[in-house]
């Protein structure tokens, strides 16, 4: 299964190590899923890691970014050939585009605006937009080979 993780989910997995997402992290580390990103998403993560409220010095920021780079596949920038729903927050559109370019099955997020797009009937996304818990449930019921 192919996933795109938005920044809040990456922070949940790698910074906070939220127990609710342990199974998702286990699947990623086991290679049961493939995760995709691009330069724009990596730049956002790097920017977020520098926020003072996270208390990470430059070395700790670099370590988390390196850890993330080791578990993702970077897709090249470029046009998206599919029609995608438009996010209210333009900063979130990049996750939709990476999911489309990477052929993702799931865009995993906690962002309310992105999750609203999951219910769009007028412009449905070509992939599911789900919470980490929903992704874990889908992984538990999917018997497909490693992506």
Q: Is residue 138 part of a domain?
A: yes
Q: What is the DSSP letter of 145?
A: P
Give dist(CA 62, CA 75) in Å, integer: 21
Please state whether the predicted TM-score (pTM) of the whole model is above 0.75.
yes
Task: List the end-to-end C-alpha distance of the chain, in Å, as a whole number.
Answer: 5
Write down the residue that tokens 């920038």 correspond to. 77
Read off the CATH number of the domain in which 63 is found: 3.40.50.1010
Q: Is residue 79 part of a domain?
A: yes
Q: Is residue 147 part of a domain?
A: no
- Whether the per-residue pLDDT at 84 is higher than 50: the answer is yes
Domain that holds residue 44: 2-142
Number of domains in the chain: 1
pLDDT per residue as tens digits for the range 29-49: 999 999 999 999 999 999 999
Arithmetic mean of pLDDT over the chain: 94
Q: Is residue 65 part of a domain?
A: yes
CB 21 within 8 A of CB 132: yes
- Whether the per-residue pLDDT at 78 is higher than 60: the answer is yes
């Amino acid at each position: 299964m192919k996933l795109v993780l938005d920044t809040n989910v990456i922070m949940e997995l790698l910074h906070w190590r939220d127990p609710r997402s342990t199974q998702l992290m286990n699947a990623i580390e086991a290679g049961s899923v493939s995760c995709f990103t691009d330069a724009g998403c990596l730049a956002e993560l790097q920017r977020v890691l520098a926020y003072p409220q996270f208390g990470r010095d430059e070395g700790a920021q670099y370590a988390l970014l390196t850890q993330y780079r080791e578990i993702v596949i970077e897709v090249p920038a470029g046009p998206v050939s599919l029609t995608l729903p438009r996010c209210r927050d333009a900063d979130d559109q990049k996750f939709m585009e990476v999911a489309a370019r990477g052929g993702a099955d799931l865009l995993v997020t906690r962002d309310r605006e992105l999750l609203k797009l999951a219910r769009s009937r007028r412009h449905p996304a070509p992939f599911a937009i789900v919470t980490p818990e929903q992704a874990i449930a889908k992984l538990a019921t999917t018997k497909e080979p490693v992506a």
